[in-house]
């Protein structure tokens, strides 16, 4: 099911004007605060009535202002995952999970309770109250409650924003399983490039209430013109396959025939991976460097040089592993003669690939 979203709404000085499609999988609305992400998800949920627009998937129309059609929020059959878990404190985990199902239409296709519990790893929590759960456990229960409500669409409004890095690392694999194993489309709001790189089937990059670009995570994050969270957040995504775990503690992946080494990856050889390479962690050399401690050296050709802030630039490099972005000073760009077509080498330390920047490839 592909969800078509067309919205226009004025908030005084700010106008939201977007038109995009959310195909099956996880569609991430990506951009900095104030870009219009939450306004979009609120309109889809029926919590905001836009001035103009239409949201529909085939004959399932949530609203159409031209046709004067408006489906009330409680009839839209949406699963909503908030920043905070918002569990009922007086109910057990089991009762919280079953709550959504009480309001699902009779005969509606729904996920199996046991399968959802197993997928989220919460079987041992079923008899506990929310007060006895950690932040990550509460988030998993909230995901399960949304799934078990027999939704036609899941909305996730920055569901990891309230968690610390350790809890985010705990929850991310469950969202990857959700993406790969659940048939319900997911509209996911985020301003984290790491989340986008790991989770997105489709990215809708937003800036100032407009769509900058839509495409796969590899296409959008690898475009130097798309930096909706600032140059510091720029970074490309490489698709790779885990090859081996070495005795010295490093994991080796193959990305387009190029070996990539990093600290251990919790996956078995053969697993498909997504690896985000932050632009500020990439060094450039015109000749292949010798005598460096860096293990990851990718030969490539400059595709584009795009000026950044007052003294910086983003350089897009085509390598056998995929597109890599490098954040350099303009002085370095000029000194190295980095122009489109120039041959060079992208250099990356193995430790520069953070754990949160490596995820499971989509199914």
Contacts of 280 (CB under 8 A, 6+ apart): 232, 234, 327
Render pLDDT for 120-177 as a digit per residue (tens, 0 to 9).
Answer: 899 999 999 999 999 889 999 999 998 888 888 999 998 888 788 888 888 888 888 8
**End-to-end alpha-carbon separation of the chain, Å?**
17
Highest mean pLDDT among 117-121, 218-222, 344-348: 344-348
Please identify which residue in the block is written with the tokens 């490839």.
361
How confident is the model at residue 362, as a pLDDT? 61
pLDDT-derived band at 26 (thresholds 50, 70, 90) equals very high
Q: Residues 262-301, buried b or exposed e (16+ Cβ, 10 A)?
A: beebebeeeeebbbbbbbebbbbeeeeeeeeeebbbbebe
pLDDT, one tens digit per residue, over 278-328 is 888 899 999 999 888 888 999 999 999 988 767 889 999 999 999 999 999
Task: Name the DSSP letter for residue 199.
Answer: H
CA distances for 197 relative to 165, 194, 224, 299, angstroms: 16, 5, 15, 23
């Amino acid at each position: 099911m592909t969800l078509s979203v067309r919205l226009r709404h004025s908030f005084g000085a700010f106008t939201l004007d977007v038109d995009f499609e959310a195909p099956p999988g996880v569609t991430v609305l990506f951009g900095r605060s104030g870009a219009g992400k939450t306004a979009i998800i609120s309109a889809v949920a029926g919590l905001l009535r836009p001035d103009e627009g239409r949201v529909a998937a085939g004959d399932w129309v949530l609203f159409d202002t031209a046709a004067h059609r408006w489906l009330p929020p409680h009839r839209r059959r949406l699963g909503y995952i908030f920043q905070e878990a918002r569990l009922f404190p007086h109910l057990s985990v089991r009762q919280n999970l079953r709550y959504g199902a009480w309001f699902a239409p009779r005969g509606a296709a729904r996920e199996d309770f046991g399968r959802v519990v197993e997928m989220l790893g919460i079987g041992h929590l079923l008899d506990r109250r929310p007060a006895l759960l950690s932040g990550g456990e509460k988030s998993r229960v909230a995901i399960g409650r949304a799934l078990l409500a027999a939704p036609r669409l899941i909305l996730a409004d920055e569901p990891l924003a309230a968690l610390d890095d350790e809890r985010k690392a705990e929850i991310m694999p469950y969202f990857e399983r959700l993406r790969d194993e659940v048939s319900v489309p997911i509209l996911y709001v985020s301003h984290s490039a790491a989340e986008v790189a790991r989770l997105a089937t489709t990215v809708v990059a937003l800036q100032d209430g407009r769509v900058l670009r839509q495409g796969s995570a590899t296409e959008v994050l690898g475009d130097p013109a798309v930096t909706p969270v600032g140059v510091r957040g720029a970074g490309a995504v490489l698709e790779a396959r885990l090859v081996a775990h070495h005795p010295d503690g490093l994991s080796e992946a193959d990305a387009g025939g190029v070996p990539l080494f990093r600290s251990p990856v919790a996956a078995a050889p053969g697993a498909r991976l997504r690896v985000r390479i932050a632009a500020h962690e990439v060094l450039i050399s015109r000749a292949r460097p010798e005598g460096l401690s860096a293990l990851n050296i990718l030969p490539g050709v400059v595709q584009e040089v795009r000026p950044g802030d007052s003294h910086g630039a983003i350089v897009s490099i085509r390598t056998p592993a995929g597109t890599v972005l490098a954040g350099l000073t303009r002085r370095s760009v000029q000194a190295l003669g980095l122009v489109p077509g120039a041959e060079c080498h992208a250099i990356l330390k193995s430790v520069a690939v953070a754990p949160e920047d490596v995820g499971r490839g989509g199914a």
